[in-house]
Amino acid sequence: MEKDRMPNQNNHVQQEENIEAVFTLDYYQSLNYDIRLRRKGKHFVLAIMELGIVEKSEDLTMAYEKIQAAKEAYFRSMIEDDFADSIVKPADFNTTIKPTSLANRPNLENFLIKTGIVAIVITLFVFFIVNPAVKYNYNKLKSIEREFKGIADWSDERVEKYKLRARNIARKIKPIAEEVKIVWESASPDDSAKK
């Protein structure tokens, strides 16, 4: 009978054999379908929307194993009944291969590249901005510490000089403190009602 076939029929048979070679159980099992998870009462409900498969169990691991088994049974049935070409591919399934570029790299690579750039920027910021400021403030604190060392031995004139400087600073800060006090009191209505 095979010899009685016409040339077009032979091509068609060969194409079907090639299609069957591509549509294997391992091929479909390797596809990455999204599994949706919901909690319904005591049960975990898992669903693969593209395939219309839903499984549930009180144990999440058991529900996952059940949906994997149902997916395999679905693939087996479709392949055995010659409907493998009708199996819906995952939503993010892509049959074309794009050239590698920064825009087309997997998300993890993009994330790592961006994280590296941010780490370099933060390092430069700390090294050139924060580090000198910390050193400056440390040196300033050391100079204040040296200035007030031995305060018990100061003369009365020197103590009065620092008291005068402190009063001048307080006089400059007083309007700001009054504004903050007004804002603080208006922000808490319970406290103002008590007065």
Dump the DSSP string for 79-138. Answer: HHTT-GGGSPPPTT---S-PPP-GGGS-HHHHHHHHHHHHHHHHHHHIIIIIHHHHHHHH
91 in any annotated domain: no
Whether residue 112 has pLDDT greater than 90 = no
More confident residue, 144 or 56: 56
pLDDT confidence tier of residue 11, bands split at 50, 70 and 90:
very low
Clarify whether residues 71 and 107 are in a common domain.
no
More confident residue, 151 or 121: 121
Lowest mean pLDDT among 44-58, 142-156, 171-185: 142-156
Domain count, the chain: 2
CATH of the domain at 39: 3.30.160
More confident residue, 95 or 14: 95
Whether residue 12 has pLDDT greater than 70 = no
Structural domain ending residue among the three candidates 27, 61, 86: 86
Q: Which amino acid is at 32?
A: N
Clarify whether residues 66 and 108 are in a common domain.
no
Lowest mean pLDDT among 32-46, 49-63, 142-156: 142-156
Q: Tens digit of pLDDT for each residue in 160-184?
A: 888 898 888 888 888 888 887 777 7
137 in any annotated domain: yes
Q: What is the pTM of this model?
A: 0.39
Whether residue 152 has pLDDT greater than 60 = yes
Clarify whether residues 186 and 106 are in a common domain.
yes
Q: Which of 91-95, 118-122, 147-151 has the highest mean pLDDT?
A: 118-122
What domain range includes position 58?
A: 2-86
Clarify whether residues 7 and 61 are in a common domain.
yes
Q: What is the mean pLDDT of residues 19-34?
A: 74
Clarify whether residues 56 and 121 are in a common domain.
no
16 in any annotated domain: yes
Clarify whether residues 57 and 114 are in a common domain.
no
Pairing of strands 43-48, 36-40: antiparallel
Please tell me the predicted confidence (pLDDT) of residue 192. Answer: 46
